[in-house]
């Protein structure tokens, strides 16, 4: 009688043990879930980095093309002094603001941004591009002045290139003498290659990194 009464209890105990998870099964489940969470976090981080780079690349290209648009109406060299063999490349005397720039060679080596030649970055109208709040309003500093687009810089390189080989850079004062096959070319009658390099330095960055560069040839 007593033996028969203990058998159901033992069977129920075995059934309860079979219905639970072992320690190894629990650990394996935790590992699988952990791997899934890590994969999700990594994918989310990759998406965020990709989206951030895409946004910066678009901004960089926009800022580079703003400079290109600004230069469309500029002469290659100063309309008054020209470019003599003794000088004339770069800013002339009295050109102290961005509004004074009147030719392309003035822009050689010029930078627009924090710590640059002039405040910037700038747009095609030579106006500083400002930070924008989420509501579309211009961000102001503590003094109530518009804040420039922070971290961005435009750097410009202007080079005189050979009219028959744009990869060959000539010195600023170079003039081509006439030959049996080629005509003489004055120092101020060469094509120019203009390159705009746009860089960005974030708050946590130790140095600026190049985002994009745009080059084009201005013919004779």
Note the pLDDT of residue 145: 87
Residue 7, pLDDT above cutoff 60 = no
Q: Which is more confident, 140 or 2? A: 140
168 neighbors 176 (Cβ within 8 angstroms): no
User: Kind of pairing, strands 192-200 and 209-218?
Assistant: antiparallel
Q: Alpha-carbon distance 191 to 92, whole Å?
A: 20
The 10s digit of each residue's pLDDT in 89-143 is 888 878 889 999 989 999 999 999 988 999 999 999 999 999 888 888 888 888 8
Residue 147, pLDDT above cutoff 50 = yes
Q: How confident is the model at residue 48 (pLDDT cuts 50, 70, 90)?
A: low
Strand partners for 212? 198
Q: Alpha-carbon distance 4 to 33, whole Å?
A: 45
Q: How confident is the model at residue 85 (pLDDT cuts 50, 70, 90)?
A: very low
Strand partners for 79? none
Note the pLDDT of residue 125: 96
Note the pLDDT of residue 10: 57
- φ, ψ for residue 70 (rounded to 5)? -60, -35
- Domain range summary for the chain, segments of one domain joined by +: 45-218
The residues near 69 (Cβ < 8 Å, ≥ 6 apart) are: 124
In the chain, the largest separation of any two C-alpha atoms, in whole Å, equals 129
The 10s digit of each residue's pLDDT in 174-216 is 999 999 999 999 988 999 999 999 999 988 889 999 999 999 9
Q: Which is more confident, 156 or 81? A: 156
Q: Quick one: residue 136, left, alpha or beta (phi over 0 = left, psi -120 to 50 = alpha)?
A: left
- What average pLDDT does the structure give for the chain? 85
Note the pLDDT of residue 209: 93
Residue 153, pLDDT above cutoff 90 = yes
120 neighbors 148 (Cβ within 8 angstroms): yes
Q: Which is more confident, 217 or 135? A: 217
Residue 1, pLDDT above cutoff 90 = no
Q: Alpha-carbon distance 179 to 46, whole Å?
A: 60
% of the chain beyond a pLDDT of 70: 82
Strands, E, within the chain: which ranges? 111-113, 152-162, 165-170, 192-200, 209-218
Q: How confident is the model at residue 86 (pLDDT cuts 50, 70, 90)?
A: very low
Q: Is 163 helix (H, G, I), strand (E, B) or coil?
A: coil
Note the pLDDT of residue 197: 98
220 neighbors 190 (Cβ within 8 angstroms): yes
């Amino acid at each position: 009688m007593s033996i028969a009464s203990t058998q159901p209890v033992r069977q129920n105990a075995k059934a309860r043990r079979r219905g639970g998870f072992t320690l190894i099964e629990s650990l394996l489940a935790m590992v699988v879930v952990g791997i899934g969470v890590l994969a999700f976090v990594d994918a989310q981080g990759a998406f965020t980095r990709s989206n951030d780079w895409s946004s910066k690349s678009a901004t960089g290209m926009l800022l580079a093309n703003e400079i290109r648009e600004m230069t469309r109406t500029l002469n290659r060299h100063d309309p008054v002094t020209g470019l003599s063999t003794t000088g004339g490349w770069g800013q002339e005397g009295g050109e102290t603001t961005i509004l004074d720039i009147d030719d392309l060679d003035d822009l050689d080596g010029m930078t627009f941004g924090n710590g640059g030649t002039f405040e910037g970055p700038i747009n095609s109208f030579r106006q500083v591009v400002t930070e924008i709040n989420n509501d579309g309003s211009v961000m102001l500093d503590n003094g109530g002045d518009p804040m420039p687009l922070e971290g961005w810089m435009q750097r410009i390189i202007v080079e005189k290139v050979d009219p028959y080989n744009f990869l060959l850079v000539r010195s600023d004062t170079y003039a081509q003498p006439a030959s049996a096959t080629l005509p003489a070319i004055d120092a101020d009658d060469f094509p120019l290659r203009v390159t705009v390099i746009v860089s960005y330095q974030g708050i946590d960055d130790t140095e600026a990194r190049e985002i994009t560069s745009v080059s084009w040839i201005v013919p004779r």
